[in-house]
Amino acid sequence: MNLPGWFQRVVLRRVWLSFVVLVLAFFAFGAGTLNLFFLLRANAALLLEHGWIALGDGAAEQLAELLVTGFLSMAAYVVFKACEYRLAHWLTDPPTFIDHQDPP
């Protein structure tokens, strides 16, 4: 299955669905990045202060979860930008008529 082709065929060809996906991606990006920087900084400080003990107590798992959250948030941002691009061009580009042919 070609994910970019599927996304273009199913989501971006429908303006209303592009808007719905844009809103969902916006909320996913916002929820994923709300406290991400502060949590990563706190996790790094914990690791620097306590070293291997912190890793054994779950800091490594938390760091992995934070990194996955960051990657998923970035994916949501990319989806948001793709939908934004589609909707902006739908609003601003002049309509094209396939049936219209210029006279010779």
What is the reported pTM? Answer: 0.76
Inside any domain, residue 6 = no
Structural domain span for residue 54: 22-89
> Could you report the per-residue pLDDT of 36-47, keeping only the tens digit for each?
888 989 998 998
Q: Is residue 36 part of a domain?
A: yes
The DSSP-derived string for 28-66 is: HHHHHHSSHHHHHHHHHHHHHHHTHHHIIIIIHHHHHHH
Residue 78 lies in a domain: yes
Structural domains of the chain, count: 1
In a domain, residue 11? The reply is: no
Domain membership flag for residue 53: yes
Q: Is residue 17 part of a domain?
A: no
* Residue 100: inside a domain: no
Calculate mean pLDDT across residues 40-68: 89
